[in-house]
Structure formats: C-alpha cells, structure tokens
Amino acid sequence: MSEPVLQLDRIDKTYNRGKPNAVSVLSGVELSVAAGEAVALVAPSGAGKSTLLHIAGLLDTPDSGEVRILGRPMAGLSDRRRTLARRDEIGFVYQFHHLLPEFTALENIVLPQLAAGVAPAAATRRAHELLEQVGVDARANHRPAALSGGEQQRVAFCRALANRPKLLLADEPTGNLDPDTSEKVFETLMDLVRGSGLAAVIATHNLALADRLDRRLRLTSGRLAPA
C-alpha cells in the first residue's frame, strides 16, 4: 500500500498552556488520508477544526504528535523548508476566498506558480486551463470585485491547485455562498479533486455535502471519530 499523503499521529494542541484559562483544542488526534480520498471534517464552531487544518497545512505546530506529508516528518523543518512544503505539496481554500484584489483572476493563479519558479508563459497556460475547467475563463481578466461570490471561489480553487499539490485543505469552502451556488461550487471542487487524484480534507457545516465524500469525521472534545 502506498504511503498516505497526510498522516497525523497523536496530535495535541492546547492554547495558553500552563495558564488557568488553558483550552485543550486537540487531544490525541489521528488521521490518515490517501491519494484520491476526500474526507469531510464536521464540527461545531469553536471545536478546533480550523486549528486541525492549520496544523495539517503546516501553518501551526502541535504541542506534541507528528505530522507527515507523503511519508516525510514535518517536525524540525526550518521555516524555509516548511514554506517550500506548503508551496509545493499543499493547496488551501478558505470560506472567504482571499484573492488579491489588485490582480485579475488570471494573475491570482499565475502568481503562486511564478513564486515556485514556473516560467511566465507556462504559468499563464496553466491558469487558463484551470479557469476553463471551472467555467470562468471568460472572466480571466476581471479583478475579484467584478466577480460573483461563486466565481471568486472557483478562482480560489484554481489558485490552490496551480502548483499541482498532493494535498488540498478546505475550510468551509462553500459556507459563504447561497445554497444553489454552494452546490455548483461544491461540484466544481469535487471534479477538481477527483480529476487530480488529490488527498482532500474539507471542513464543512453542510452535512448533505459531507455525506457525498468518502468519509465523514466529527471533531468533538478534541478527538476525531467517524460521524
């Protein structure tokens, strides 16, 4: 069996450790996600799902436990090596798209590729291919303010996949959209995930959408369990 793309072993995280107001957010969390697998993460607000995604995506560090990406332990990496791992192996999508407002849709997808050393012409081709795949290539030269919410989120998906990551982490990616747009954007996301063979962890409050993924996990009292 091939190595999981993402593996979390006994992850603990407490905020304000050692203080009277300490809050234990994650306690012994175990998670393994394979290539081509999409896992739903459901939890009430404040339960720690964003913290879990940030640790999995190397934006935060656990108090104890180990994060492995493609079988490689991430503990002890320098800041530069962590940055390179995030750039090359991980794609992020958030509830609020966080597109750069001064750049066009196309440029928002080209920029992370340029940062990874891709030639401008190749980066532009890749951006157009992704925008066409999600049905918004006609809006390539529009800035985010001129795009609908659904279009903005589709562009955010394209940006997340621009450098061909192996792992996609999405935090409430449809939570800011109306039901009809949410459904369409979710279908787009899953087409991208399935077409790319990604490992994906998608946090969502929408149980109907969560049920359409390969597994559904619930985070409660700092622990993960099948939901």
Fold of 38-61+77-226: Rossmann fold (3.40.50)
What residues pair up with 13 in beta bridges, in sequence order? 26
SS3 content of the chain, % helix, strand, coil (to 5): 35, 25, 35
- Return the domain boundaries, the chain: 38-61+77-226
The first and second tokens of residue 184, run together, are: 């369409």
Q: Which of 174, 155, 170 is nearest to 100 (CA)?
A: 155
The low-confidence residues of the chain, meaning pLDDT below 70, are 1, 18
pLDDT digits (tens, 9 = 90+) for 44-96: 777 788 899 999 999 899 999 999 999 889 888 888 888 888 888 999 988 77
CA distance 85 to 127: 21
CA distance 78 to 85: 11
pLDDT at 3: 82
Helix (H) or strand (E) holding 144: none
DSSP character for 47? S
pLDDT at 111: 95
pTM of the model: 0.87
